[in-house]
Structure 1
Amino acid sequence: MSSVESEIERAAVATWPASTVEHADGWVLRHCGLLNRKRSNSALPPEVVPDPDAAVERVEKFYAAREAAPIVQVSPLDRHAELDAFLAGRGYRVVGRTSAMFADCDRVLGAPQDFEVRLEPGPQPSWLVAAEVVGRKPEPSLDRISQPVRFAIALRDGVPIGVGTFAVSSDWCGIYGMATSPDWRRRGVAGAVLRAGARWASGAGATRLFLQVEDDNPGARSCYEALGFIPSHGYHYRVR
């Protein structure tokens, strides 16, 4: 795995909650009964998987002990063709085709701010209400995200029109839960949220930002590219 790919995946593990995280032979095994996200309930492989059969057996035992379906995050996809083919042959189906993207904080900060953006230190009631207003169902366990973290609300005339979450690990800041009210899409709201988050992240010691965007959301990808984000790697999940 290249340096950037590896750093992004390590930062993603550090900034997104899982109630159980185990490390075994380079694998990161994650489970969170309170959170339905695949990232919190999947196994992340090491750079090299010399024995897929033995490795997947161990993954399946980990999830069986928790009465959960085994999920493998095949990341980066272009380096795990053998593992991916093995999982397919074992009956694992593909879900969640995704691209990881990254950008320097300074580049994202380059444009002027067009909307008021408020940053809160936790998933406070005002942020949870804002998330629902813009059409994003708030997820449980958001209070498990490690500090430093900020929950952003974009406002127009006091009304929430966009949200996002920013969590820092070392010199990386992960971006999660971006959402814009349907009436305000393609009007710069997401950019305003990202710039506010980048400004805070820079002050918290981060130099680079990363996010994940599903491949069936080209509009979001174009928005991020316009703000200076470039692709790092692709991945998908295999679910049995």
Structure 2
Amino acid sequence: MEFTTGARLEVRITPDDVGKRVSVRRLTDACETGARFTDAVGVLTSWDAGELRLTRRNGQVVRIPESAVVAAKVVPAEPARRRGPAATAAELVRVAARGWPPVVSEQLGDWTLRASDGFTGRANSVLPLGGPGLPLDAALARVTRWYGERGLPAMVQVATGAAGTQESLAAELDARGWSVRRAALMQVGELAPVADRGAAQRVELSRTASAEWFTLYNRAGEPTPAARTVLEGGPSVWFATVPGADGVPAAIGRCVVDGRWAGFAAVEVSPEHRRRGLATTVMAALAARALQEGASAAYLQVEPDNEPALALYEGLRFTTHHAYHYRYRPTT
């Protein structure tokens, strides 16, 4: 525990400490058992509307009412753990899903049905991490109804190309006419070499995506509620902006820290500022922040035909771990 018995209890943090690693002692509801206090250590990711939110090293989010806090202080950031990016596909898929949370979801056995008003495939598709708990045809019928009720096409995200992935499910869907529409590569790399590429260009980091940030994010356009929910969700999220002229950033990026993993997304550079290394600058700033929170490995998703992005990530020593694609229900 971070607080020793008999130590003076003081709250020595404020909302200005959001983004720092803190230790918080709070009152519990189990006073009659003698357990009056419990401690939580993690990154203070928000302090709004009378509630603190801490993200622990394992990605767990702890919500603490401000009225229950009896002591708190900033504690030194953990040194980056040395464990590299080795991982199973199942681990990576779960981490990536936590870092891109849908607006609504529902479990069907070990399948997660996700919907977010159509904002991105990952947030509007089935994530199968095992069996659905009923025969496949019945499960697919349930999936079709669930997405139809939300005005969305039925879609399943299927991982391939690594041990433990879902080639058998892909074959079953193929036999039923579920077509492949889009594909992506899951790439991994060590985090420290990315942070080492930092440059003198100023990069602003924030916990929320500003209206200016959205002007460069090509997937969203106007920041819809669904887009904000997905982009600002996750264990410990950071947005990077390289300021530009006329309110349009020169470059942007997003990173979500979840335990040892840092996930990069939305790295964009405005056309007039390309070929200046700004994408690398953005990723380096985000990587440095993730290292401070104890991460050591990185992941990202990239389309296989995006040659400029693939060249960038290869230069940052990312390699492909596995691939995934989306299967769409056949039209009748």
Q: Name the TM-score class by shorter chain.
A: 0.7 to 0.9
Determine which of 15, 18, 25 is the counterpart of 2:109. 25
Q: Does 1:171 align with 2:171?
A: no
Residue 147 of structure 1 and its aligned partner are, at CA, apart by: 4.9
- Alpha-carbon separation, structure 2, partners of 1:136 and 1:182: 17
| Structure 2 residue identity aligned to 1:143 | R
Say how many residue pairs are matched.
Answer: 236
| Structure 1 residue identity aligned to 2:91 | E
Higher helix share: 1
Determine which of 100, 119, 124 is the counterpart of 2:210. 124
Q: Secondary structure at the match of 1:97?
A: strand
- Alpha-carbon separation, structure 1, partners of 2:197 and 2:124: 37
Q: Deviations over 1:171-204 (max 9, x none)?
A: 2222121111123333311111110011111222
| Structure 1 residue identity aligned to 2:250 | I
Change (3 A) 1:225 1:56: same
Determine which of 2, 27, 37 is the counterpart of 2:120. 37
**Normalising by structure 2, what TM-score?**
0.64
Residue 25 of structure 1 and its aligned partner are, at CA, apart by: 2.1
More deviation in 150-159 or 206-215? 150-159
Residue 102 of structure 1 and its aligned partner are, at CA, apart by: 1.4
Change (3 A) 1:52 1:81: farther
Determine which of 85, 96, 101 is the counterpart of 2:171. 85
Q: Secondary structure at the match of 1:221?
A: helix
Gaps of 5+ in 2: 1-85
- Alpha-carbon separation, structure 1, partners of 2:317 and 2:244: 25
Contact 1:154 1:160 in 2 (8 A): yes
| Structure 1 residue identity aligned to 2:142 | R
Change (3 A) 1:120 1:70: same
Structure of larger gyration radius:
2
Q: Of the two structures, which has the highest relative contact order with CA contacts closer than 8 Å and spacing of 6 or more?
A: 1
Contact 1:123 1:142 in 2 (8 A): no
Change (3 A) 1:223 1:171: same
The equivalent residue for 1:226 is 315
Change (3 A) 1:159 1:81: closer
The equivalent residue for 2:236 is 148
- Alpha-carbon separation, structure 2, partners of 1:60 and 1:77: 26
| Structure 1 residue identity aligned to 2:210 | Q
Residue 106 of structure 1 and its aligned partner are, at CA, apart by: 1.0
Change (3 A) 1:110 1:43: same
The equivalent residue for 1:9 is 93
- Alpha-carbon separation, structure 2, partners of 1:168 and 1:207: 10
Residue 5 of structure 1 and its aligned partner are, at CA, apart by: 1.8
Residue 49 of structure 1 and its aligned partner are, at CA, apart by: 7.6
| Structure 2 residue identity aligned to 1:17 | P
- Alpha-carbon separation, structure 2, partners of 1:220 and 1:177: 11
More deviation in 108-117 or 5-14? 108-117
**Normalising by structure 1, what TM-score?**
0.86
The equivalent residue for 1:217 is 306
Gaps of 5+ in 1: none
Determine which of 191, 196, 203 is the counterpart of 1:110. 196
- Alpha-carbon separation, structure 2, partners of 1:142 and 1:113: 30
| Structure 2 residue identity aligned to 1:94 | V
Residue 143 of structure 1 and its aligned partner are, at CA, apart by: 3.2
- Alpha-carbon separation, structure 2, partners of 1:186 and 1:52: 48
